[in-house]
Amino acid sequence: MPLKTKEEYIESLRKMKFKLYLFGERVENIVDNPIVRPSMNSVAMTYELAHDPQYEDLMTATSSLTGKKINRFCHLHQSHDDLVKKVKMLRLLGQKTASCFQRCVGMDAINAVDSTTYEIDQKYGTEYHKRFRNWLLKMQENDWTVDGAMTDPKGDRSLSPSQQKDPDMFVHVIEERKDGIIVRGAKCHQTGALNSHEILIMPTIAMGEADKDYAISFALPADSEGIIYIYGRQSCDTRKLEEGTMDLGNAQFGGHESLVILDNVFVPWERVFMYKEYDFSGMLVERFAGYHRQSYGGCKVGVGDVLIGAAALAADYNGASKASHIKDKLIEMTHLNETLYACGIACSCQGRPTATGTYLIDLLLANVCKQNVTRFPYEIARLAEDIAGGLMVTMPSEKDLKNPEIGHYVEKYLRGVFEIPTEHRLRILRLIENLTLGTAAVGYRTESMHGAGSPQAQRIVISRQANFNAKKELAKKIAGITE
């Protein structure tokens, strides 16, 4: 079953036994839970579009391992074209869902682990790459959604993993057995974890020899014994429990994050892809982060397309679309959005093959891409709020609009252009609220800051990749300086 349908994906999750806590209570049925379901719908779109002939070239690929047609989210990039199509695919899905569709983190993880395990084996004579490829074959054959799990709680940031007073601040091995290892710890901010079939654990920082028990990578079924999920709250999330759809802004789609607890979890050796090779932890982190920072040049741009469209509609409905300052703001929003896209495409076109043949993006440009993402969506959101007007945050609820006693007042006094129904105006303002302030802000505005690493994380990589010495030599040559 290399290509699951949307329906098969949803049913596959229904068979899983997640241990989830939401609002302090255990949730038995996550598939039909109104808080979780919109995020699941977003992932389901990655399956639905893969069966649409119109999007086949972007959504599917030919497996380099089997030659079969697979979902691109399960694919190892084999060329510059693959890297470019990835960015275009993510933009498409952002346009279709106006939210985080969650599956890119697993795609970025498999590409990083693939090349890193090969290089570990070359140095130490281990079999991690073979183990990983065997697992990857199962991922491709079953069309799994995978949660790429990197971020640990970290505790005291001034201390390394082995120096923490609480050793569980980083995922680590607590027992080695003949048939595998026992691990303990947690992964934070795990996007789409509850919509995933498997969880792929990676170290979160470069480590030294003293931290070798923390230098581990492995994969497990997402509902394995000992894995506990605590659902992350979002602004306006309880609106999903209300009747009606207008106040949600985006009633169909969403994203989610979870705190994932690993409470003495057993991992068989065949699913372990790094074990104490601390000297390769930095490589794995850097490559995963690079791939994921490239991703933001696609997904955030697609959601930005929707936000720009919503702002333009708000201007139409307000009767302000012909004002020169409104036109200029929409142009600026488009300029910023397309700049992000240009960075995503650029780091893809400048990529290179690794030792396995799997292509890696240009790390400098990928980090420049994400550095821009930490800034531009905030300005795009600000301009959208400016165009929308204050009614976006002061308007009454859908129940007020539909109330038989007062609804006609809402209808009368909150109308903009007379020919446009008041409900249309209110719905588009709720969508802008959702994208800039509400639950989707996690997948657009706020995630733009901290997703795939904070701004400082990108600046560190940029400083490493910038090659200032080579630039100095260029300047010396032009200035006629010889030494």
Q: Which residues make up each annotated binding site for FAD?
A: 191
Question: Is residue 116 annotated as a catalytic residue, yes or no?
Answer: no
Question: Is residue 296 annotated as a catalytic residue, yes or no?
Answer: yes
SS (H, E, C) the chain: CCCCCHHHHHHHHHCCCCCEEECCEEECCCCCCCCCHHHHHHHHHHHHHHHCHHHHHHHEEECCCCCCEEEHHHCCCCCHHHHHHHHHHHHHHHHHHCCCCCCHHHHHHHHHHHHHHHHHHHHHCCCHHHHHHHHHHHHHHHCCCEEEECCCCCCCCCCCHHHCCCHHHCCEEEEEECCEEEEEEEEEEEECHHHCCEEEECCCCCCCHHHHHHCEEEEEECCCCCEEEEECCCCCHHHHHCCCCHHHCCCCCCCCEEEEEEEEEEEEHHHEEEECCHHHHHHHHHHHHHHHHHHHHHHHHHHHHHHHHHHHHHHHHHCCCCCHHHHHHHHHHHHHHHHHHHHHHHHHHCCEECCCCCEECCHHHHHHHHHHHCCHHHHHHHHHHHHHCHHHHCCCCHHHHCCCCCHHHHHHHCCCCCCCCHHHHHHHHHHHHHHHCCHHHHCCHHHHHHCCCCHHHHHHHHHHHCCHHHHHHHHHHHHCCCC
User: Can you name the residues that pair with 146 across neighbouring β-strands?
Assistant: 198
Catalytic choice (47, 75, 100, 256):
100
Catalytic choice (77, 214, 292, 439):
292
Question: Is residue 104 annotated as a catalytic residue, yes or no?
Answer: yes
Catalytic choice (257, 277, 286, 433):
257
Catalytic choice (46, 191, 204, 439):
191
Question: Is residue 257 annotated as a catalytic residue, yes or no?
Answer: yes
Question: Is residue 100 annotated as a catalytic residue, yes or no?
Answer: yes
Question: Is residue 191 annotated as a catalytic residue, yes or no?
Answer: yes
Question: Is residue 28 annotated as a catalytic residue, yes or no?
Answer: no
Question: Is residue 270 annotated as a catalytic residue, yes or no?
Answer: no
Rounded to whole angstroms, how far apart are CA atoms 452 and 449? 9
Residues in the annotated binding site:
191
Catalytic choice (299, 343, 347, 369):
299
The residues that are catalytic are 100, 104, 191, 257, 292, 296, 299, 447
